[in-house]
Structure 1
Amino acid sequence: MNQAGFMVNVFVTDEEAREYRETMQQNKLLMASLDAEIAKAQAALKQLVNQRTEAQKLLESNSAPSDTEVEAIREIIRSKEQEMEQLEGEVAGARSALNAMLERREEVAQESGPSSSALDKFDADIDGARAVLRGLLTERDQTHETLEAHRALLSPSRRIPPEVLGEIFVHCLPQDAFIDASVTHCPLLLTQISSNWRSVALMTPALWTSLKVNLSTTSCLPNLPLIQAWITRSGSCPLSFSIEESIQKDYYEEGMITSAAVLELYAPHYHRWRTIRLQYQDWRINTGFLKLPCDVPPQSLQSLHLARDFWQPTEYDQLSLMLSAPRLRNCTWVSNTDLGTLHAPFPQLTTLFLERPLIAEDFMHILSESAKIELCQFFVLASAASNLAPPASPCVLRHNLRSLDLTADLFGPLFNQLELPSLTHISLRRFDIGPHPAPVWPHQEFMSLLMRSKCLLEQISLRDIDISPDQMIDCLRHTSLSLEKLILANDRRMQHIIINDDVLRMLTWTRPDRGLNVCPHLSMVKFWDCHSSSDGVLADMIESRWKTDGGPAKSLSIAFLMLESSKNSEDLQRLDLLNEERIGISILRR
């Protein structure tokens, strides 16, 4: 063995041995060069794999890429764009080849007949061409998806600061007063998009300030741990929550979750309560009020909705505290318990919905104390016996109400005692819809109220009111310049007609030089079980206000109508055509 480390063949010459050594040395150098190239290729492959991994991580998040990652993403985009260009060419070529095969097969079929054996080879080739085309289309779609995903990585939205993103999230919340804890709606939906969005959502307290809780004999939705987590995430923000309990004492079982358990979670945050809605089905079940503070009202409370048949006297202290909250402006009281005994803060309220029956004197007394109320809803039994003797000439109360929702058995005595110059919305419902030998609607008193008040009514809603068509015409003429919404709905048992041909013809818009038009701003009508007219007259009125050319100042946009198919066939046909032209007409056929 020589110094070169291999056996020398004794039969070779020195020259041949030297050539062998040189060849071996060259091979050694070539192998070293190949090893270096392989190492370089492996390093490049590793770099590409790392870039792809980092890009994949970015694809699965909403984080903004770094400058280095941006350059890598752009390189991937350039590569994918080249692939797309190449694939588009291959797809076009494959389609062209397939179409040529199909045309040639058609020619052969015409020459030799559809059962010719020559077609078998064409069919096999065509199947192969279709398979190639399908593969190319799949590859092109996958490449396009990858390309668009990487383009999205460079979207400016990924560079939005967390604080700004959180503010955007807040604007994504539902417009409902109280939010359902649903994974298909914000804010829970936001926590499922990506880890970054989840982190931002959980760190944005304003997303978790409102919650709706529903309790039944079988469930508590959402469950107590989620309610607790919701409250914790809200930080120090004011809280709004609704608890609706549909549990009856007769079906109550030990361990059943009631509103008391939910209220106990909110009790430590009493000072943060802002908007509260509590609704109970059975007054005998514990509300949890006794565990609330009894020495100070909730300082942030602005809106309070309480619905329960009766309240226990032991709960009066806590109720009085909530009602005495210094910022309380909106109150809804649905109960047979007298709100007056709890010292309601009438002087500071701007909205009062009181569904407990009142006598006329109490109604007037509350209004006189509530100078700031702008929106109200009352249920007044004006014919009920009163301890107060009626005055010889009733005093007229001037009030700045903007919206009055009034259910009563007799309206005349109430209209006579009111002057409402700021009134824009009035909704009247008759409590007693039984048959009467004479009309109950006090038209003279109502018109006196409007003329005395000099108000500009924008909405009139009359339910179960026996106003006559002539009286309706009188009312529409008086409110013509301001009226925008007209709602007339009666119980079917009344069988009373308000809208007839005369009313509809008066409301039908004509050219200004052909007559006097009324209600140029009317945008919404609802006629429900109070309409009877000749077929086509209603369609004339709706059509005249539905088309904007030469029409009123504000075209009709919504119409709710109840019609009989046997009597209003022309109306129905024409109204359906109008609704196809512009959606907004809802018809109940009977």
Structure 2
Amino acid sequence: MDALIYEELPAVYRTPPEILEEIFLYCWHDNSVYTLLTEAPFNLVSTCHRWRQIATFNLPIFWSTFHVTFTQKACKPPLPTLKLWLERSRKLPLSFSLIYRGRNSFDGGDNRSTVIEKMFAPLELLSEHLVRWRDVYVDLSDLPHNTRFRPSSLLEEELMLETFAVRTFKPHPRHNTHSLIPNYMNWISKLAESSPNLYKFDAYGDGPITRLFGINTPDSVPWIRLTILTLEHVSETLALHILQSSARLLECTFADLGRYIDWIANLPLPQLRDNIVVPRLTTLRITAEGDIDSFWDRLIIPSLQELKVYMLPGSRQWHQGDALVQFFQRSGLILDAELAGLAISAQALMSVTRGPPISRISLRNCNIPSRSLGSRVKLLSESLRELIVIDKATIDNELVKLLTLPDLVDNGQHIEATDEQESILCPKLEYLTLVNCINATDGLTSQMIKSRLMHNCETLRQLKSVLIGFSQSGHAEDFYQLEKMLKEGLNGGVSIKKGVTLARRKTQLSD
């Protein structure tokens, strides 16, 4: 091209391809959860021929993440398009979600075998690139109950799968041992077992997970490899068996933990240890509908830093306050996984003065008396930075006074440490949420917060954010004082009577 004409072109046409590639990469996002045709790379390839060439041939990462939905007769994106994307991705690892969306039975007008062949075409196409699967989510819970799952046979070589999420589903009365669910779940287990790099596994849905996990069957997810785990609709016993086999686990979520019958009949149960130690686990989140006291009785987590327990609305009365306190005591006593086999006596538990190094604890709808809650706070006092208590718990005068800082005397330069100061509860507390749980005398709660906000002691942390909700109207002084603090710069909010907010809520800070 003539140099003069080239200089007269707009800058976008004179930009080197390498610069355009960098710009395009800033526009790209992971398409494995959802795909928007108005965003990169699809808007780029429809702009002009030059951009299309760069996005199509120079950036294979654009085509390595995608979202696929299919029915009995159709696929989105269409199979030819999906095949083209797979070719454009070259040899890069693939991240995708595969979801079936259809009715619960076959259309009567088509030949059944023909429908099955069409239906599993997207899975068969993706299975041709099985060795490149890296981050995958599979949801086939809408598959017709009268079909047979036909996965392609797995390759002999190891897979590069790192994160794997699946959705289970309840069996239909017409399901049988040679039908959909067993084949589907065995395929999932074999995929996980063939993936030495698998570190994250998620299973959602309320299907019979024992057939998937194979706790007492030959097929099994490799629990020992996992560092992140999420399971939905699982029994306390099965959860403990899984934790017993997950020595490397760092983060774990059990949603809808309960007393379900999830063992395969006529097969022996593996033996549970008396003390189940999960040495590396730092984050545990639990959602449950009823008592899960037996879950805490054996569990020991010495490195736990974050605990979230949410009892679902309408759940039965919760009677595990003492069980949770003893869990903290055992976890504080056992500092090394080698001690897991030792018996823990009641006398040893009584001597424990601190629990695991929990910095954030969230208890919602847990029906905890003040005595039990106070015991937990004392055990976690040294490390606790964020305390969240919502609904059904009791924060009374005694506990509020324990959290209130004593009057600290300034000698003109710094605050002197005293024996009283050294015994202060939760010296590192920075975030506090108390909603519909305060049963203390009016004025004590605001005084406690003010004491933690106004001090200038270098060894104590100041509150950064508070969220207070009073379920009773007799807290006028508390409300007035807290509203004043909010106007003076405290982050958070205050409300009185459930559902009626009386002070503007500012942006809450988080870690």
Residue pair 1:433, 1:464 contacting (<8 A) in 2 also: no
Q: Deviations over 1:465-506 (max 9, x none)?
A: 22212322221222122122323234xxxxx23334443444
Deviation of 1:241 (Å): 1.1
Q: Quick one: which of 441, 463, 469 aligns to 2:321?
A: 441
Please, which moves more after superposition, 557-566 or 343-352? 557-566
1:201 pairs with one of 45, 49, 55: 55
Read off the aligned partner of 2:189 and give its amino acid letter: S
Q: 1:521 — aligned with what?
A: 428
1:321 matched residue in structure 2: 190
Residue-by-residue CA offset, 1:104-124 (whole Å, 9 max, x unaligned): xxxxxxxxxxxxxxxxxxxxx
Q: Which amino acid aligns with 2:123?
A: L
State how far apart, in whole Å, the 2-side matches of 1:253 and 1:533 are: 67
Q: String of CA shifts for 1:72-126, please: whole Å, max 9, x gaps.
A: xxxxxxxxxxxxxxxxxxxxxxxxxxxxxxxxxxxxxxxxxxxxxxxxxxxxxxx
Q: Contact 1:282/1:308 (CA < 8 Å) preserved in 2?
A: no
Q: Percent identity?
A: 23
Measure the CA separation in 1 of the matches of 2:98 and 2:407.
55
Aligned to 1:398: 277
Q: Which residue is 1:420 aligned to? A: 301
Match of 2:227 in 1: 350
Instruction: Provide the TM-score with structure 1 as the length reference.
Output: 0.60
User: Where do residues 57-456 of structure 1 align in structure 2 (5 Å cutoff)?
Assistant: 57-59=9-11, 61=12, 63-64=14-15, 162=18, 166=21, 169-170=24-25, 173-174=28-29, 178-183=32-37, 185-188=39-42, 199-202=53-56, 203-213=58-68, 227-245=82-100, 247-249=102-104, 260-284=120-144, 290-296=150-156, 299-310=159-170, 312-324=181-193, 325-334=195-204, 335-338=207-210, 339-340=213-214, 341=217, 342-360=219-237, 362-378=238-254, 380-381=257-258, 395-400=274-279, 401-407=281-287, 409-430=290-311, 434=315, 436=317, 439-443=319-323, 444-453=325-334, 454-456=355-357
Question: Residues 375 and 403 of structure 1 are in contact (CA less than 8 Å); yes or no, is this contact kept in structure 2?
Answer: yes
Q: Secondary structure at the match of 2:165?
A: strand
More helix by share: 1
Question: Is the contact between residue 537 and residue 571 of structure 1 (CA under 8 Å) also seen in structure 2?
Answer: yes
The structural deviation recorded for 1:333 is 2.3
Tell me which amino acid in the other structure corresponds to 2:200.
Answer: N
The answer as to whether partners of 1:545 and 1:551 remain within 8 angstroms in 2 is no
The residue identity in structure 2 corresponding to 1:249 is: N
1:455 CA displacement: 2.3
SS at match of 2:92: coil
Q: Is the 8 A contact 2:228 2:250 kept in 1?
A: yes
Letter in 1 for 2:234: P
1:462 to 359, 363, 375: 363
Can you list the C-alpha shifts for 1:284-315, whole angstroms capped at 9, x where unaligned? 36899624334547611111111121452233
Letter in 2 for 1:461: S
391, 395, 416: which one aligns with 1:499: 395
Partner of 1:585: 492
Is contact 1:333-1:356 (8 Å) kept? no
Distance in 1 (CA, whole Å) between partners of 2:235 and 2:99 is 26
**Taking structure 1 as reference, are residues 190 and 505 closer, same or farther at Cα in structure 2, changes over 3 Å only?**
farther
SS of 1:462's partner is strand
Please tell me whether the aligned partners of residues 181 and 222 of structure 1 are also in contact (alpha carbons under 8 angstroms): no
The DSSP-based 3-state class of the residue aligned with 1:367 is helix
- Structure 1 letter corresponding to 2:426: C
Contact 2:429 2:462 in 1 (8 A): yes
If asked which structure has higher relative contact order (CA below 8 Å, sep 6+), I would say 2
Q: Secondary structure at the match of 1:423?
A: coil
Report the CA distance between 1:249 and its aligned residue: 1.3
Higher CA-based Rg: 1
Residue range with higher mean Cα deviation, 520-529 or 302-311: 520-529
